[in-house]
Structure 1
């Protein structure tokens, strides 16, 4: 166990975030492998990934309110260990559509473990001296994972079969379990749960109306991201782009994803969090429309490379803002529930849209979701203008 505000503690939290949010790094490979190597249709593939994400949401929803009472180190290690076992068993299943029901169950088990572990990870990040900056840094780790996966896994899966993907997931989760057991930082009880350290306006209610609006916007961001990102690889294939060029897009995307977390940390004091939040869904819609309606490679490739970065950058500002709304860490401990509730619906929703409307329908779905996110954030900004929290959150 290490100290919360130490290099070792921050490194351990980065590894845990990287493993727990593996869907952000591997979603198109995940969906593509299930469709191509396991013979699942788009709705079935989306539902399988949704099983992992929905279970993570349920786990986070249950355990996030208990953040101040949980044994963080053992809870994180145990959760990632459970996910390790589930993905390893999945890697031993036959690569055929007959494995569908077993894959659903194992994905749900893995999600329960990862969601609980990720809740204590994000709750701990929220209790550090600068949650915004650290959340930006841990997203750099996510970018590194994406680079490795997009550079190595497509070739390995093509050569050895779809089981390689789940074996890679098991190794990632196993590494996070070991790091958690050895180095997960301790959170002082007074820092985690003593509301007396927070201003009265922050501690009067468990969550303010502004916090719920921010949570709703984060869910929308995640939903819009997953709805399109799940099918980026399949869209490229449907448009006739070669597998090598699509893989190139995914690899470059991984490198680009190193930038937004670090950039958000650097711009923490220069940009208003709600302003960034309002701009994010708008840009997300523009990129989604380009990806889903492109007929030439550059129009598809450039937006696809930047698509995840928009969510990372925007969410970093909203995470830092939310950590000031609720000083106990319980709100940000529910980050997996916020992100993965959107991500859980996205693959299944996208699969249904693709099966019934086509890939172009995904862009219009993002437009509707982004409109809802902008509405939530506009209301939050209006409430902030007259809320007692305004002086406290001005530098969020």
Structure 2
């Protein structure tokens, strides 16, 4: 849980990360988005490198070392103001975090019920979100923006210590898992469609939430109002994981991933069009609800579509690749067309998600029908 929360810190911190880079360090929106994008690209690269090697590594040592390195890197960020140094440090921090997160998710993928365990991690992330957002907003109100990186360093340090104490010491592949890894072929097209859809899901989330705090300021909301919206946002993050766990056997996974993204599109349009604080707050909360709820079902579906576990262990890569593009794309949209453009782009990305997920659903349904026909024959 601690490793998952530290690795997914961007999901919690994005609404204020960009804000700190713009308001305190005075980077423009595009450069601020670039820094966060570099962090997320580092996570993606590390996940792509380490997830295929999951069964050949000493997992515990790599997880501990990854978060330990991230602690040192964010500590260095606290003392820096140079954009070029931030570029290097953000990318290195992403690689460190991505290594640990990828191996953590690979460990989750070995459980007997990945859907349920991932939902439990989601609940932990919800609790962590409240503590992080409450602490970070209070610190930033009383101290300079550089303290944001001190908070990130503390999170990574705690994760390194927690994994040193509690992370399983012996993660050994069982015979069946080894056999699957050796004999399984390429990932099916259905699996790739879901993977690309999840990447677009996270891209939409990052695009919208990266500038959540900034658009609130632009609309004239006070610092106290924005802080309230962020608190509501974090409290709501507690809800989707237990709901997803409860509905695991009651709702078809394809139904959730095919229709759930519509909530993202509606929320994005409302956030970037409204001048009403209540609407801004409600639909900001809907954004965090949508990704945590939908992705829990997508995680369980990928575990079913790919018995080898490769797709599940690469979860950080698909999530962070989408998240990496979001801030940079959002920065460019705001710079050249204004905040409203983010809402319109989110609708386009959601439409692509729905197309990919529905193609996978139809192909899976056709495959199941063919299997039934063959069995009957």
TM-score of the pair, normalised by structure 1: 0.90
Alignment check: 8 A CA contact 2:55 2:172 kept: no
Written as runs of structure 1 = structure 2, the 5 A alignment for 1:316-335 is 316-335=296-315
Residue 173 of structure 2 aligns with which residue? 189
Q: Are 1:130 and 2:113 matched, yes or no?
A: yes
Q: Which residue of 2 aligns with 1:374?
A: 354
1:191 CA displacement = 6.5
Matched, 1:387 2:367: yes
User: Which residue of structure 1 aligns with residue 13 of structure 2?
Assistant: 26
Per the alignment, residue 283 of structure 2 pairs with 303
1:250 aligned onto 2:230: yes
Determine the structure 2 residue equivalent to 1:179.
162
Is contact 1:57–1:115 with CA below 8 Å preserved after alignment? Answer: yes
Contact 1:19-1:176 within 8 A present in 2 as well: yes
**1:197 offset after TM fit, Å?**
9.6
Of the three residues 169, 194, 201, the one matched with 1:214 is 194
Give the superposed CA RMSD. 1.8
Larger mean CA deviation between 51-60 and 206-215 belongs to: 206-215
Q: Aligned partners of 1:190 and 1:127: how far apart in 2?
A: 10
Paired residues of 1:74 and 1:180 also in contact (CA < 8 A): no
- SS of residue matched to 2:174: helix
Q: Does 1:117 align with 2:100?
A: yes
Q: Secondary structure at the match of 1:189?
A: coil
Shift of the 368–183 alpha-carbon distance from structure 1 to 2, 3 Å rule, reads: same
1:76·1:180 contact (CA, 8 Å) conserved in 2? yes
* SS of the residue 1:295 aligns to: coil
User: Which structure 1 residue ranges, 4+ long, deviate > 4 Å from structure 2?
Assistant: 388-392
Aligned residue number for residue 266 of structure 1: 246
Please tell me whether the aligned partners of residues 101 and 316 of structure 2 are also in contact (alpha carbons under 8 angstroms): yes
> What CA deviation, in whole Å up to 9, does each residue of 1:36-84 have, x standing for no partner?
1111110011001111000110110111111111111011111111111
Corresponding residue for residue 228 of structure 1: 208
Q: 1:196 to 1:31 in 2, by over 3 A?
A: closer
| Higher mean C-alpha deviation, range 221-230 or range 327-336 | 327-336
The separation in 1 between residues aligned to 2:107 and 2:220, in whole angstroms, is: 45
Matched, 1:146 2:129: yes
Q: Please report how far the alpha carbon of residue 178 of structure 1 lies from its aligned counterpart in structure 2 after TM superposition.
A: 1.4
| Pairs aligned (count) | 371
Tell me how far apart the structure 1 counterparts of residues 369 and 41 of structure 2 sit (CA, whole Å): 33
Structure 1: how far apart are the matches of 2:324 and 2:181? Answer: 35
2:84 alignment partner in structure 1? 101
Mean CA deviation greater in 188-197 or 123-132: 188-197
How far apart in 1 are the matches of 2:237 and 2:348?
A: 25
Distance in 1 separating the partners of 2:63 and 2:93: 13
CA distance in 2, matches of 1:180, 1:167: 20
- Note if contact 1:191-1:328 (Cα within 8 Å) is conserved in structure 2: no
* Mapped partners of 1:32, 1:269: distance in 2: 40
1:89 aligns with 76
Is the Cα contact below 8 Å between 1:195 and 1:328 reproduced in 2? Answer: no
CA 1:221–1:83 in structure 2 vs 1: closer, same or farther (change >3 Å)?
Answer: same
Q: Is the 8 A contact 1:127 1:328 kept in 2?
A: no
Q: Closer, same or farther in 2 for the Cα pair 1:211/1:181, shift >3 Å?
A: same
Deviation at 1:207, TM superposition (A): 1.4
- Output the CA distance in 1 between the equivalents of 2:125 and 2:21: 22
Structure 1's 305 and 191: CA in aligned 2 closer, same or farther, altered over 3 A?
Answer: farther
Q: SS of the counterpart of 1:249?
A: helix
Residue 262 of structure 2 is matched in structure 1 by 282
**Partner residue, 2:38:** 51
Give me the whole-angstrom Cα distance separating, in 1, the residues matched to 2:336 and 2:343: 14
TM-score (structure 2 length as normaliser):
0.95
For structure 2, the 5+ residue unaligned runs are: 373-377
Distance in 2 between the 1:209 and 1:344 partners?
Answer: 24
Question: Does the C-alpha gap of structure 1 residues 232 and 305 become closer, same or farther in structure 2, counting only changes over 3 Å?
Answer: same
